[in-house]
Amino acid sequence: MQELENKKAALELLQNETNDKLNDYKQQISILQKQIDDYNKPALTPKQLDDIHMAIEDAVDGYNFNDTENYEFEFGMEYDGKVYVESIGMQYTNELTQKIVDKVHNLFKEVDFPEDNNN
């Protein structure tokens, strides 16, 4: 009986060591994947990132969220006759998206890049 318990304890120890190594490998893979994902991204300075943030903020602030034509409402009625709004859906997100895209695009100049034409 003692021999079986010793073998079980040894296997559990090996399993824990293997799990620790597996977790370490997973972490290393995650770090490498992030580096791969970031490899072709253009580098931006903190000022440029702040400018992008402000451009998006300006576009959203300039959008008229009070225009009820931009929303689709679904109404419901309770048993006592009270009407309530069951859901609200924003319909015209393309206008908001376009405002954001325009603001961000205005921060940059577009250039031809030969590698883009190799597709």
CB-based contacts of 73: which residues, under 8 Å, 6+ apart? 85, 87, 88, 89
Torsion of CA 6, 12, 15, 21, to 10 degrees: -100
DSSP code of 40? Answer: T
Distances (CA, A) of 105 to 12, 79, 113: 57, 52, 17
pLDDT value of residue 109: 74
Q: Please state, in angstroms and rounded to a whole number, the distance separating the CA atoms of residues 16 and 9.
A: 11
Q: Please state, in angstroms and rounded to a whole number, the distance separating the CA atoms of residues 71 and 59.
A: 18
Domain spans in the chain, listed from the N-terminal domain onward: 1-41, 42-108
Q: For each successive 10 residues of the chain (119 residues), what is the average pLDDT?
A: 88 89 92 86 85 88 81 90 88 82 82 65
What are the DSSP E strand ranges found in the chain?
71-77, 83-90
